Amino acid sequence: MNDVEIRRDSTHQRDRKVSEWRQLLEGVGFHVTHYSMAKVYLEFNDWVRRSGTPMAEVESLRRDFLAAPASVKTAFGIQHEGDDIKFHWGVLVFRAVKRT
């Protein structure tokens, strides 16, 4: 996921682990009361267009998505639909309360 994001968007730094996000929040005075994983559903053509991904990289990413092993396609819900590819990422949702 991190590799694909860096290739798509040159401003992307890195995906953090749950423990890193918790530590960051707690380090600035929040107490994490709950967190869960959710999914964000994306369409490849829109996803690369929004970040202005260079066309050569778009084609490389498209090939990688379409040639991904079955386990990766299942994990990310990769589905080729017409001239687009639908997929999802896991996202972390926190509930954090400012310590008083």
- pLDDT at position 15 over 90: no
pLDDT tens digit string along 55-95? 999 999 999 999 999 999 999 999 999 999 999 999 999 99
Q: Which residue has the tokens 């040159």?
A: 10
Quote the tokens at residue 84.
């687009």
- Structural domains of the chain in order of their starting residue, each with its CATH number: 2-98 (3.40.50.150)
pLDDT value at residue 79 = 98
Question: In 10 A of CB 81, how many CB atoms?
Answer: 9
Query: Which residues, 6 or more positions from 62, have their beta carbon under 8 angstroms from its beta carbon?
Result: 44, 85
Q: Which residue has the tokens 């990289």?
A: 57
pLDDT tens digit string along 44-66? 999 999 999 999 999 999 999 99
Residue 87's Cβ-count burial label (10 Å; 0-12, 13-18, 19+) is buried
